Amino acid sequence: MSITSFYQRPIHSTLYLLLSILFTDKLVRYILFKFHSYFNQHKVNVIEAFLMPFITLLSSLFINIKKHKISFEYTLYDYYPHLRLPYRTYIYSNILRFIIQSVFLVFFKNQLKSSSVKDDAVNYFYDGVSYLLRQLRWFDLKLGRLLKRLLSKKKGPKKSAFKAMADARVWQNKLVKYVILAFILFLLAIFITIPFSLEAQAVFISFILLVAYALKRVKGQMATIVMITLSVTTSSRYLWWRYTETLNWDDPLALALGAGLLLAETYAWLVLILGFFQTVNPLERKPVPLPKDTDLWPTVDVYIPTYNEPLSVVRPTTLAALSIDWPADKLNVYILDDGKRPEFKDFAAEIGVGYLARADNNHAKAGNMNSAMRYTDGEYIAIFDCDHVPARSFLQMTMGQFLKDSKVCLVQTPHHFFSADPFERNLNNHSQIPNENMLFYGLIQDGNDMWDATFFCGSCAVLKRAALDDIGGFAFETVTEDAHTALRMQRAGYKTAYINIPQAAGLATDSLSAHIGQRIRWARGMAQIFRLDNPLMGKGLSIPQRLCYINAMLHFLSGIPRIVFLTAPLALIYFNAYIIYAPFIAIFIYVVPTLIQIKATNSRIQGKYRYSFWGEVYESVLAWYILKPTTVALFNPNKGKFNVTEKGGLNDEEHYDWGISKPYLILLLINLLGIIVGVLRLFLGDSSQIGVLIISMGWAFYNIIILGAAVAVAAEARQVRHSHRIKANFPAGVRLANGHTLKVKITDYSDNGVGIETEHAHLCRVNDKIELLMSRGNKQFSFTTYVCNTRRKQIGLTLKDLSLEKQRAFIQCTFSRADAWLDWQNNFRHDRPSYSFKEVQKTSLRGFSNLLFHAPRALQPIIKFMTNTVIYINSFTPKKPIVHNNHD
């Protein structure tokens, strides 16, 4: 069938071609008759034109199968693996699987392996767009050709039109920039507020998606700015539409629930806009070299606050702090012990560092450091949490900023963790998925630095004593003394800086409950700052600084909006309340493309630091628990106390934390029941509600996937190692008992052991004594070790009977290496939304599996039914095709 015949009756002829592949002619004709009747009844024949680009894309796949003489039966199951048994027997549901997979095959990169097939598909797509524009009489075919030229991705010496425009010199002129910015804002105001018919909205959003899809492959900040502009336009237009056309004023219940959803969407829109502003141009500041004359270097006090942590956690940090490359007469290390423990005092005396304790524990960590300032006199104060082991180069990388600019009061470096946090450990994806902190320390802090709004994060930072004295010491009015202290110094006119090079590493939280407890404190503290020292009010801050702080505070107010999003689709399913009072096709045209555009833009900006969909998993885990403390703090900011995050603990056996997961389980259950009720209403309810019911059920199913992943995190993995193993790759040597010295490679280490790789197998046996030789610069050190295990060329060594001096040397050669953490962001490739969604799906199914495994016997049938339901629904999601060489 030629493409011309598709234009004659696009919907009927195309669907006939696609459906006839799976079903009999009689069944196909029946489906088309029902389809045609529905469209005539609802007077939406123009949707044929809107669907045309996408239908021609689907058709092109099968046209090319015939064109390239590929065996269709074989290819069908390669490209549609989930149409095999057992699901192939469900003919009606296979229609939906087939259509979803077809869209996936056409739109997602590297799915069509044959370049000629993909090129033909793209050509059909542009033909379809041209047909749509002709049908609506908006433009002529010239626009289709212009789009091809503008968005061309052809390789060669010639640049695409967009690339050429982006690289033009005219953008370097400030006046031109301001004029263009004003013009863009004017156009945005028009495009956001002008009323469109559904047909016009369809054309408008299709054009934006076309541009955004092409820009994904265009490098440079200009393309990012354009994608942000498009996202701001689509999201703002959506919100305008929601406020002006979608509230049901005739139904009080629908109005109340719809208004709640609209407020949650407004919150999400505001956070989105502020996030774009915050991260559009990260500074990526570089270290400033220090003067060669060390006499010009200032004195530095190193504070290591501790309260209830064991000495085994504090010892490596203290020994590493003593090893920082800085003149010994200008470096003083202090243990600030709010636990007042004799063994800590003895340890400090043994290694020659200061020990400070106080009579009371008023104001927690902030009070501890304010007390220490009365007994120390360094010009600068470096602060490390007691589990953060600093690199030797820490002061070399940070202090130059202070000497360059006397107004700099704070230099912050990232918090890096060599142990897996509860998400990474319980989901077994450490170093595979960026963790929750990575977005903040990898991107947001660099964005804050651009606007002179770097946050003090309580550790891995240097502060100027004079600036602290100027504001009265560390802020203690809130439980987040760090961010509050930075805010006060910035109000006083001081500058802050961020160096995005990890110069210390520490322990992540030990359990999900401890992790949530830490986030509760952060959330309460930011809400307290919002009430007691609101960045929007008062003097001293620039507008960008205020916006950066307000976005950080809004982030911790996400509890209520996230709960709303996790329950909103149930309003229609359970109560028949139209919370978005609009026809099915209007909801589809406004909602789906807007979400796709936002996801694509965030993926481009955050792709190295936060994978798509994982942010919603993190928020869902925390939502219920931060809801109460933030709400209470907004009304009573003085309520609540500082809680210390426990670290260094063990977990002897796997278990499921039913207490912490209770909110997710309740939300999961009501969404699953919503799916069941929705299916019953599809068959037994009003046929005019089918469209909105399908959207609500799709939304509920998405919530089930997110909540399933949240449930998976509550299965606490076994953790019996007292010392965490850290992967490494640097040379060393060993001296065997026979006196032979061999070169080896360090593959991992901990504070009491080392893994090495040799060139030859079976060099030694378990319990053999070996001298491990490592170097720091020109110095060489020898450590007595014993073989604890051997696996061909892999040997595990245990450190025994090391003196304090040897322990210090070992820390210098391992944890304190200047290059120890430099590759912290290099393990992750850029986000691919399809891959990320697939990983979240896998995690969700794992959550159901965990429930089934850990559930009491009486509940297992119910959970098994829930699991099977989710697996069946998951069969509709796109699958990666299996393409054989003879298909190319």
The position carrying tokens 């697939």 is 838
Beta strand 354-356 with 331-337: parallel, antiparallel or unpaired?
parallel
d(CA 559, CA 565): 10
| pLDDT, mean over the chain | 82
d(CA 10, CA 16): 10
Confidence of residue 53 (pLDDT cuts 50, 70, 90): very low
Ranking 238-252, 392-406, 814-828 by mean pLDDT, the lowest is 814-828
**Looking at 120, 482, 657, 831, which residue is catalytic?**
482
Confidence of residue 234 (pLDDT cuts 50, 70, 90): very high
More confident residue, 803 or 402: 402
Ranking 267-271, 333-337, 739-743 by mean pLDDT, the lowest is 739-743
Q: Are 302 and 332 in contact (CB under 8 A)?
A: yes
Residues 653-684 pLDDT 10s: 678 888 899 999 999 999 999 999 999 998 88
Degrees to nearest 5, angle at CA 576 with 571 and 577:
60
Degrees to nearest 5, angle at CA 521 with 469 and 439:
90
| Both structure tokens of 503 | 């110069």
**Predicted local distance difference test score (pLDDT) of residue 489:** 97
d(CA 764, CA 770): 9
**Predicted local distance difference test score (pLDDT) of residue 771:** 92
**Looking at 120, 127, 337, 338, which residue is catalytic?**
338
Mean pLDDT for 25-50 is 50
d(CA 403, CA 328): 19
Q: Are 762 and 742 in contact (CB under 8 A)?
A: no
The position carrying tokens 């949490």 is 385
Mean pLDDT for 548-557 is 94
Residues 279-306 pLDDT 10s: 999 999 999 999 999 999 999 999 999 9
**Predicted local distance difference test score (pLDDT) of residue 334:** 98
User: Of 43-47, 93-97, 788-792, which one has max mean pLDDT?
Assistant: 788-792
Residues 301-326 pLDDT 10s: 999 999 989 998 999 999 999 999 99
C-alpha distances out from residue 789 to 723, 742, 754, 769, Å:
17, 18, 11, 12
Confidence of residue 739 (pLDDT cuts 50, 70, 90): confident
Amino acid at 298: P
**Predicted local distance difference test score (pLDDT) of residue 106:** 59
Ranking 19-33, 238-252, 577-591 by mean pLDDT, the lowest is 19-33
Mean pLDDT for 748-775 is 88
3-class SS string, 606-662: HCCCCCCCHHHHHHHHHHHHHHHHHHHHHHCCCCCCCCCCCCCCCECCCEECHHHHH
d(CA 695, CA 596): 15
**Predicted local distance difference test score (pLDDT) of residue 136:** 44
- Is residue 114 pLDDT above 90, yes or no? no
Confidence of residue 68 (pLDDT cuts 50, 70, 90): very low
Confidence of residue 7 (pLDDT cuts 50, 70, 90): very low
Phi/psi at 383 (nearest 5 deg)? Answer: -120, 130
Percent of the chain with pLDDT over 90: 51
More confident residue, 227 or 147: 227
**Predicted local distance difference test score (pLDDT) of residue 282:** 94
Mean pLDDT for 60-71 is 44
- Is residue 486 pLDDT above 50, yes or no? yes
C-alpha distances out from residue 339 to 23, 188, 349, 387, 470, Å:
75, 58, 17, 15, 29
d(CA 380, CA 464): 5
Is 768 annotated in the active site?
no
Residues 330-352 pLDDT 10s: 999 999 999 999 999 999 999 99
Q: Are 591 and 261 in contact (CB under 8 A)?
A: no
**Predicted local distance difference test score (pLDDT) of residue 651:** 54
**Predicted local distance difference test score (pLDDT) of residue 44:** 42
Phi/psi at 560 (nearest 5 deg)? Answer: -65, -50
Confidence of residue 876 (pLDDT cuts 50, 70, 90): confident
User: Which has the closest alpha carbon to 422: 510, 519, 505?
Assistant: 510
d(CA 703, CA 670): 11
d(CA 513, CA 33): 56
More confident residue, 92 or 659: 659
Residues 376-432 pLDDT 10s: 999 999 999 999 999 999 999 999 999 999 999 999 999 999 888 899 989 988 878
Mean pLDDT for 838-849 is 89
Q: Are 591 and 262 in contact (CB under 8 A)?
A: no
Confidence of residue 817 (pLDDT cuts 50, 70, 90): confident
User: Which has the closest alpha carbon to 366: 482, 454, 466, 459?
Assistant: 482
Q: Which helix (H) or strand (E) holds 480?
A: none
Q: Partners of 389 in the beta sheet?
A: 505
Degrees to nearest 5, angle at CA 526 with 521 and 529:
125
Amino acid at 684: L
Ranking 90-99, 189-198, 262-271, 599-608 by mean pLDDT, the lowest is 90-99
Q: Are 295 and 326 in contact (CB under 8 A)?
A: no
- Is residue 358 pLDDT above 70, yes or no? yes
Q: Are 131 and 7 in contact (CB under 8 A)?
A: yes
- List the end-to-end C-alpha distance of the chain, in Å, as a whole number: 22
DSSP class per residue in 126-185: HHHHHHHHHHHTS--HHHHHHHHHHT----SSSPPHHHHHHT-GGGG-HHHHHHHHHHHH
**Predicted local distance difference test score (pLDDT) of residue 1:** 37
More confident residue, 707 or 824: 707
Mean pLDDT for 256-284 is 95
Confidence of residue 121 (pLDDT cuts 50, 70, 90): very low
Q: Which helix (H) or strand (E) holds 315?
A: helix 311-322
- Is residue 167 pLDDT above 80, yes or no? no
Classify the phi-psi angles of 727: left when phi > 0, otherwise alpha if psi is within -120 to 50, otherwise beta: beta
3-class SS string, 56-118: HHHHHHHHHHHHCCCCHHHHHHHHCHHHCCCHHHCHHHHHHHHHHHHHHHHHCCCCCCCHHHH
- Is residue 687 pLDDT above 60, yes or no? yes
Is 329 annotated in the active site?
no
Q: Are 600 and 215 in contact (CB under 8 A)?
A: no
User: Which has the closest alpha carbon to 845: 822, 877, 815, 823?
Assistant: 877
